[in-house]
Amino acid sequence: PEGTEYQAQCVFRKDFHHLLQPFFESDEAKNFQRKVEEKISREVLGKVFDMWFEDQLMPLTRTLTAEFYKGPAVSQMVAEVPAKYAEVLRLLREAEQSGKWPACSKGREKVIKLSSEGTHGSFTVGSMPASMEAPNGTKLFPELAMRCFELERELKP
């Protein structure tokens, strides 16, 4: 209702907390919190987020990309790659040329398309505990994953 303020997970000074905690933990407060969260969820799931993403974030991404990247073309920078990055770059190029480069999610695809030209996609490489499955990128490109880990150790021992 108008004039009502929604606060969740607030922490107050000790001298007030003991007075306010019973209020915020009351059934009435919990019901109000649930109603507010449900309304927010309905609005987000009701295309508000999609409209914001398409109408505001996507155009802003184009502007920010143009503003923040005013350097030489990527093809000009490749010749200047430091030696410690060269092997990972070579393997990335092989992965791209192999035709195995995986597609990416619809949301991620929108961001990638705005910030680059040509073929788009992304994948993850990583090491997982034995009880979990390795990311697809690690399975598709095991040597690349290994070299990425080596580069990571070199960059941040």
| pLDDT tens string 118-157 | 555 677 788 888 888 888 888 888 899 899 889 888 888 6
Place of tokens 């390795």: 134
CA distances from 114 to 51, 75, 141, 144 (A): 17, 19, 26, 26
d(CA 105, CA 122): 9
Q: What's the longest Cα–Cα distance across the chain?
A: 66
Please give the share of the chain, as a percent, with pLDDT higher than 70: 69
CB 141 within 8 A of CB 121: no
Q: Integer distance in angstroms from the first to the last C-alpha of the chain?
A: 55
| pTM value > 0.75 | no
Residue 66: DSSP 8-state = H
